[in-house]
């Protein structure tokens, strides 16, 4: 068999393994190793497994992953996330749909600490769903807004999705982090606008919450100041050139730990469990990345990226036409595959095509990550939907999926805006590096 045939068989077997729920990393290990063995010999496959594992695991850029995850975990156990929600709740909770909008704002703030969509949905779900149920919010709006708001975790920096994209495409993590800031705020605004429109059309969806006094608003804002300061120091430090992303991650993690120690909200037991969870999550990310570095050489040897690239080029769709096709494929795959799996499987194929067309890699990264967000709430896989279901077991899964539809459409509109106006993604990174 020629390389192309072996490559197609390998991709088909890999997709089958993913569909039967074989862990992504192990599926890529297996197919990558066997594929290279078949195409280049056993010694080459064995050598690549040893070298790529060590090279990637010793990469200093990846230190941002455990540190930012630790920062989010500690912020959660110290109650910083709850105070962030309380501040948003006090400011806008009294308007119609205000609790839902406060949930989105809190999700955006927590996303700037955790970098994880799952952590954002789980944490904010526990905090906000009880309040929205208390004030008789429609379950579709309440659960839909938590599932959608949680997706901000992989767009608003620090973002694990951006880190993986940067490693796979050899781009700057700092530039990608900054590129996600304005699109993240745009998407957050679109979510709030969606809530406002829904509650205007159907007032029973989001009844107004209790009014708060000026003094109560001030107290809640003071309570949220520590988390806002951490966000300002970490992201502002990267933008101002004071920190590299790795240094910013260390400073951020250190600040939340100091806050927990000073306020006595962080015990040694809490710190231990936060650190352990961070290690487990980091190990998962590392295994996926190492698996990706096994499957990528296999795809290169089989010339699959060249075949797909030539096929897309031969269609003569132009830059935007090709971009629409690629993003459309991501949307379809998002209905069946987990986001990180999509990144590691598709970037070796699609990224060279975008480079041939002159598409800015930072801009493309933002578009891809936003499309991955849409997959987090797309049926039937929709990881965030199942996370919310675990927090709200009394709400039917179908209701949650119906609740996320308006927010999925808001994401689609946001994606269109970012395609039409690339500078929304490129303004901050270009300003920082120029």
> Do 112 and 238 touch, CB atoms closer than 8 A?
no
From 136-145, 308-317, 362-371, 419-428, the region with the lowest mean pLDDT: 308-317
Please, which pLDDT band fits residue 13 given cuts at 50, 70 and 90? Answer: confident
* pLDDT of 16 over the 90 cut: no
pLDDT tens digit sequence for 117-147: 777 777 778 778 888 888 889 999 999 999 8
The larger pLDDT score, comparing residue 308 to residue 267, is at 267
pLDDT at 433: 59
- Residue 61, both tokens: 């850029």
User: Which pTM value belongs to this model?
Assistant: 0.84
- Whether the per-residue pLDDT at 240 is higher than 60: the answer is yes
Residue with more model confidence, 111 or 141: 141
Which pLDDT score, from 0 to 100, does residue 434 have?
56
Work out the mean pLDDT of the chain and round it to a whole number: 84
Mean pLDDT of 279-298: 79
Q: Is 276 left (phi over 0), alpha (psi -120 to 50) or beta?
A: alpha
DSSP state of 368: H
User: What's the whole-number mean pLDDT along residues 70-86?
Assistant: 82
pLDDT band at 115 (very low <50, low <70, confident <90, very high): low
Report which DSSP code applies to 337: S
Q: What is the pLDDT of residue 73?
A: 83
User: Which segment, 43-57, 110-124, 291-305, 357-371, is predicted with the most confidence on average?
Assistant: 357-371
Rounded Cα distance between 308 and 278, Å, is 37
The per-residue pLDDT for 1 is 67
pLDDT above 90: residue 318: no
pLDDT value for 59? 74
**Residue boundaries of the structural domains of the chain:** 61-433
Per-range mean pLDDT, top range of 122-126, 186-190, 302-306, 310-314: 186-190
What is the residue-wise DSSP string for 256-287? HHHHHHHTT---HHHHHHHHHHHHHHHHHHHH
- Residue-wise pLDDT tens digits, 157-212: 878 888 888 888 889 888 998 899 999 999 999 999 999 999 999 888 888 877 88
d(CA 429, CA 362): 9
367: Cβ–Cβ under 8 A, 6 or more apart, which residues?
A: 323, 327, 415, 418, 419, 425
Q: What is the pLDDT of residues 50-75, one digit of tens each?
A: 776 777 777 777 788 888 888 888 88
pLDDT number for residue 36: 86
């Amino acid at each position: 068999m020629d390389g192309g045939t072996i490559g197609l068989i390998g991709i088909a077997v890999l997709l089958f393994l993913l569909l039967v729920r074989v862990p992504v990393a192990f599926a890529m290990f297996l197919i990558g190793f066997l594929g290279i063995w078949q195409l280049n010999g056993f010694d080459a496959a064995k050598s690549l497994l040893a070298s790529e594992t060590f090279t990637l695991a010793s990469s200093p850029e990846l230190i941002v992953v455990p540190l930012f995850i630790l920062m989010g975990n500690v912020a959660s156990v110290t109650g910083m996330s709850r105070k962030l929600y309380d501040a948003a709740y006090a400011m806008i909770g009294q308007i119609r749909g205000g609790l839902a909008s406060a949930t989105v704002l809190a999700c955006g703030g927590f996303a700037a600490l955790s970098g994880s969509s799952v952590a954002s949905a789980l944490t904010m779900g526990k905090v906000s769903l009880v309040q929205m149920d208390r004030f008789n919010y429609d379950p579709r709006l309440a659960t839909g807004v938590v599932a959608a708001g949680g997706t901000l975790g992989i767009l608003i920096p620090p973002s694990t999705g951006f880190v993986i994209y940067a490693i796979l495409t050899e781009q700057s993590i700092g530039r990608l982090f900054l590129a996600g800031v304005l699109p993240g705020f745009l998407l957050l605004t679109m979510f709030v606008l969606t809530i406002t429109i829904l509650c205007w059309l159907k007032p029973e969806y989001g009844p107004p919450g209790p009014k708060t006094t000026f003094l109560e608003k001030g107290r809640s804002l003071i309570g949220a100041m520590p988390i806002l300061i951490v966000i300002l120091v970490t992201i502002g430090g990267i933008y101002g050139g004071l920190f590299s992303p790795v240094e910013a991650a260390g400073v951020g993690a250190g600040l939340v730990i100091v806050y927990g120690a000073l306020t006595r909200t962080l015990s040694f037991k809490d710190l231990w469990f936060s650190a352990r969870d961070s290690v487990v999550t980091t190990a998962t990310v590392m295994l996926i990345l190492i698996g990706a570095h096994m499957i990528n050489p296999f795809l290169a040897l089989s010339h699959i990226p060249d075949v797909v690239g030539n096929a897309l080029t031969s269609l003569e769709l132009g830059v935007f036409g090709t971009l629409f096709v690629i993003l459309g494929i991501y949307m379809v795959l998002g209905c069946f595959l987990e986001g990180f799996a999509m990144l590691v499987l598709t970037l070796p194929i699609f990224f060279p095509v975008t480079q041939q067309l002159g598409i800015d890699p930072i801009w493309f990264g933002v578009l891809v990550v936003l499309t991955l967000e849409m997959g987090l709430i797309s049926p039937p896989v929709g990881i965030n939907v199942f996370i919310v279901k675990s927090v709200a077991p009394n709400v039917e899964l179908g209701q949650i999926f119906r609740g996320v539809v308006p927010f999925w459409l808001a994401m689609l509109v946001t994606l269109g805006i970012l395609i039409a106006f690339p500078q929304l993604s490129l303004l901050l990174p270009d300003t920082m590096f120029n």
